Amino acid sequence: MHLFSESAPSLSSVLGLMTTVVIAAWYDWTSWRIPNALLAASAAASLMLATFATDGIGLSSSLAGGLTGFGLFLPVYMMRRMGAGDVKLLATLGLFGGPFLCIDIALMSSLAGGVWALIYLFLQTRHGQQLRFAAQAVLGTNFVRLSSQVPAPTLDGKQGAMMPYGLVIAVGTLAALLITMH
């Protein structure tokens, strides 16, 4: 059950959606970019599923989901707080699941991003530094290196971005799907 709707997505849509978001999260985590080729191929696949699959959501619902995803994150992009790839990713996910699942994904992603930001801010405090050093001692240097040594690019070229948001969208997608399938 969606937060805003009664219908669950089809298995083919869920598989396409999860494949897209996992690959996008990996690329965003490792390179701070989400490839347009991935999003274009996923968008084409989602439109074919919506139109031709027996359990598809239908072309109109798919297009409404894409517009919903684009519209939800476009203002954040225009305020220079998110990359264009993140906007295109949510639009593509909307093509797979329709507008209601897209809203669920955006809400869950926002919650996951807020939690991530709070953890990031905590790690910048003295107590957080102590926790980070303890984690480094237990888990090794590679675990902690990501939060302290990888430069964080932003849209205007200045340092300061806190997270690759594709990863946050992946967590939000998983949470939205768990709620939907429950």
pLDDT, one tens digit per residue, over 60-73 is: 999 999 999 999 99
Ranges of each domain in the chain: 11-181
- Confidence (pLDDT) at 26: 95
pLDDT greater than 50 at residue 1: no
- Confidence (pLDDT) at 123: 72
Report the C-alpha gap between 149 and 131 in whole angstroms.
16
- Confidence (pLDDT) at 84: 93
Provide the pLDDT confidence category of residue 56 given band limits of 50, 70 and 90: confident
3 state SS of 164: coil
- Confidence (pLDDT) at 142: 53
Residue type at position 42? S
19-33, 90-104, 114-128 — which is least confidently predicted?
114-128
18-22, 77-81, 107-111 — which is least confidently predicted?
77-81
Token representation of residue 67: 């517009």
Query: Contact, 89 vs 24, CB < 8 A?
Result: yes
- Confidence (pLDDT) at 75: 94
- Confidence (pLDDT) at 162: 63
121-156 pLDDT, tens per residue? 777 777 767 776 776 766 665 544 444 444 444 444
- Confidence (pLDDT) at 64: 96
Report the C-alpha gap between 141 and 47 in whole angstroms.
44
